[in-house]
Amino acid sequence: MHDDRTLVEARLRRVLDERIRPAVYPESVPLEAAVWHAPGEPVPVAEGLAADVEPVTVGTRWGAPWGTSWFRVTGTVPEAWAGRTVEAVLDLGFDENMPGFQCEGLVYRPDGTPVKGLNPRNQWVRIGAPVRGGEEVRLHVEAASNPVIMGYRPFTPTPLGDRETAGGAPQYTLTRMDLAVLDETVWHLVTDLEVLGELMAELPVDAPRRWEILRAVERALDAVDLQDVNGTAQRARSRLTDVLAAPAVPSAHRISAVGHAHIDSAWLWPLRETVRKVARTAANMTALLDDEPEFVFAMSQAQQWAWVKEHRPEVWARVKKAVADGRFVPAGGMWVESDTNMPGSEAMARQFVHGKRFFLDEFGVENDEAWLPDTFGFAAGLPQIIKAAGSKYLLTQKISWSRTNSFPHHTFRWEGIDGSRVFTHFPPVDTYNCSMRGAEIAHAVRNFKDKGAARHSLAPTGWGDGGGGTTREMVAKAARLRDLEGSATVTWETPAAFFAKAEAENPEPPVWVGELYLELHRATLTSQAATKQGNRRSEHLLREAELWAATAAVRTGFPYPYEDLDRIWKTVLLHQFHDILPGSSIAWVHREARATYARIADELNGIVDAAQRALAGEGTLPLVFNGAPHPRSGVPAGGARPAGATGRTTREDRPGGGHVLDNGLLRVAVDARGLVDSVHDVEADRETVAPGRPGNLLQLHHDLPNMWDAWDVDAFYRNTVTDLTDADEVTPGDDGASVRIARTFGGSRVTQVLSLPPGDKRLVVDTEVDWHETEKFLKLAFPLDLHADRYASETQFGHFFRPTHTNTSWEAAKFEACNHRFLHLQEPDWGVAVVNDGTYGHDVTRTVRTDGGTTTTVRVSLLRAPRFPDPETDQGVHRFRHALVPGASVGDAVREGWRINLPERRLTGAGEVAPLVTVDRDSVVVTAVKLADDGSGDVVIRFHEAHGARARATLTAAFPVAGVEVTDLLERPLADTPPPAVDEGRITVRLRPFQLTTLRLKRA
């Protein structure tokens, strides 16, 4: 037989595009349309429905950026259409290639009942099936004219990312407002041909099944009268019956399709627009559930559920019913799909506390899985947190985006720093926006790395990012792929059902230990510095507010601010979403975030001040409150007393220019350029700075990644560097015992103050940058005379090690990485820590000394200046604090990391304040002291072993304790963990390395 394959395939493409798809709606009549453009921000539904409208016609431009227009469409179903299926087709000016990234709408009936959402791949509204003829149609559309931020030429700087700079030019053209007859036979023929055509294209050319499909498609096309598609569609469908009925082979890969819409809680749109995106999507999905009995939809992010409940009660009622039916499934158990690299220990725990508690309170549902398809890598401490929250599974997709190395598993157990393991799945479909295309299904089969050991994978199915969810076309394709020869089988299932099957068939999968590092989007550790500092400061203020409020509540009856703390925690957790905290959202999002963090700081400082004043009482005794988990300057952790003497620091002029600082523990030499060429550890008689390579060196790089400007820094940025060694001034600081340095470069200015706190073994570097660069990357370098093959990086509830070398591509790819409060490098008898109060990105490299051996350079990342999606990223004044701690053990690094983030507070009072709880071992770090969330008055203490060693410690409560329970993160007793004994308030615990424990103490 002659090979006419390409001829038939080309014929299929043209006939589908030009004849069959257009015949889906064979008859239509125009609807009358009118519009009201709401001034300012979105208005309540009732106001939009009641607004005075003006006539508008197809072809009219509409929609200022970020505006809301209320369209009213009216018409009458023709009598001649009686007995047929009729839909309104409402095209607001959609580009089908941009679902979720364009204008969108939510359709209402005149009484305010939501019907469904409109988006580029979902433009229809069912009127009747069948209609009687003569029905009056009246619909209202709340249309959001969200501008396209990332178009066909992506990463182009645009002012559209903030309402304050976007202007008022109309963004869209009203394209279609019709009533139309839906020919369901033609619609099904389109789906038949798409499924078979896409499957055929993925089969080997020499496979018999491919040719069987080809001949069936050819016969179907022959059966179509191109001048009467509607009259011959059923005849064409009959030619395809046999090939669509051929069952899959027994060994076929099995895909669990989960209806999904991964909606970014903010990204190329502000938070307030996400509220509406979620409502539109939820309305769409509940409507689809009504139409498709096998379909199942899962939605994560408790915050998004809460938005629907608060802002769209009519949609919420439909959602609650669908949840009760088991088909609209709460997923993930987190408040938002957060970043997991940068949130601190308690914040990461509270993501699960607030997320799981919302689903339990609202639906009585507890999720077993963490659901994070789009998060930019996963910190090594996360498995323990997932398990401590009562969950046991993790799903993500993003690791498939890694650019250097292909991750070796799709289903595996992920082991965290304490040894906890969670069953983890990366869907091999390699997208969280699966649309059931044949290419996606075939890719999942080919790509699945666990063949032979397993045959199940998951496909999150539906338009996401900007929302929309699953479409009826996707459901129809899945129905044909349920059991089809040549394809994987597809079944709609809940996440829980998938994980149960996957774990049952592969109970001993391979194990991956340590962080799940994404070899992409590394610059998200630095972009939008103010957002990151706002997060860090909020986390520590929340710690203080809980600590002092709980202490005051137990001691003085101070009213514990349960509701305020709950609300503030949820706001902070929201802003840890994986495009807000990473700095990859539009300008509007970060402008609002800065204002939100300022409000949070004011409110939390107010709570702290009120609680501390209640504890201190009336008096004139100067008190120092220590909110850190370690004693300092004679003040116990969690207590207050007068500060003790701490020694003094001297400053001397240096011959030839520069200065020398000395506090008896460190002697620091600063040259005439403001660079540190010596940090001498007096006790160890050890030099810290690498010879010939000064510290406190600011370095400026060109920084234009190939794509994803705010997200990425590409390795070639290191090819060019400017050392900022010219100083405008190097002078004594205001206190006479520090050094002040000023530099200018480009359009920017840096002012630094170097100081040695009396009695402390640390060099503090305060840096203020008035930043006005574009596409530059600013680093602060500390070359250390230290031989280290690895270094410790703090993560949630502990630390882990990364190599300093680049032996393999896996190590070389980690050229920018994340830490929390500290980095620590060590030779067997001497180490150095670098601590910070609000930066995350860094790099560590090795260099050979001229006299042999190696030195190690730590560079902390300060600022970037990408122009997309926020063209003014980081412009303005920023303040950073870092400290270099010579002679530091890992315990010193832990302590100094807390110290720099929790400065002492001073006020006067009547006398000392004893801590509510004390711990007798430095390695056991208390991360939270609070009252139980249920209002019982029980005291909750969360702590972990922080040095990476086993520990036996005694916790002493300074109040009568009637009993103690070991609990999960949600403060529920762990049935399989016996409580420790209590002896007059003393509780002895034994911890393995990095073990996390939560105790609930009942007050007598």
Active site residue 723: no
Cα–Cα dist 483/249, whole Å: 9
Give yes or no for a contact between 93 and 175, defined as CB atoms under 8 angstroms apart: yes
Euclidean distance between CA atoms 678 and 694, whole angstroms: 8
What CA–CA distance (Å, rounded) separates 965 from 88? Answer: 60
Displacement of CA 656 from its chain's centroid (Å): 51
DSSP code of 246? Answer: P
| Type and span of the H or E element at 507 | none
- How far is Cα 427 from Cα 493, in angstroms, rounded to an integer? 14
**Number of other CB atoms surrounding residue 214 within 10 Å:** 20
Record the tokens describing residue 720, joined without a space: 């060019």
Identity of the amino acid at 568: I
Question: What percent helix, strand, coil does the chain show, rounded to 5?
Answer: 30, 30, 40
- DSSP class of 16: I
Structure token pair of residue 222: 């022959």
Apex 820 CA angle, 816 and 823, nearest 5: 70
Strands annotated E in 531-675: 621-625, 640-641, 650-653, 659-662, 666-670
Q: Tokens standing for 365? A: 């549902």
- Structure token digits, residue 188: 């099904």
HSE of 969 in the Cβ direction (CA atoms, 13 Å)?
Answer: 26
The CA-atom distances, in angstroms, between 612 and each of 599, 621, 908 are: 20, 14, 10
| Separation between Cα atoms, residue 851 and residue 691, nearest integer Å | 10
278 φ/ψ angles, rounded to the nearest 5 degrees: -65, -40
Distance between CA 35 and CA 52 in Å, rounded?
A: 8
Q: Which residues pair with 926 in a beta bridge?
A: 943
Q: Look at residues 669, 679, 878, 846 and name the one whose alpha carbon lies nearest to residue 767.
A: 878
Q: Centre a 10 Å sphere on the Cβ of residue 868 and count the other Cβ atoms it contains.
A: 21
Question: Of 91, 374, 760, 892, which is the active-site residue?
Answer: 374
Q: Could you tell me where the beta strands, DSSP code E, fall in 822-875?
A: 822-827, 830-836, 841-848, 854-864
Tokens of 357: 């508690």
Q: Which residues contact 359 (CB under 8 A, 6 or more apart)?
A: 302, 305, 330, 333, 365, 366, 367
- Cα 548–Cα 549–Cα 555 angle in degrees, nearest 5: 85
Burial class (CB in 10 A: 0-12, 13-18, 19+), 787: middle
Catalytic site positions? 374
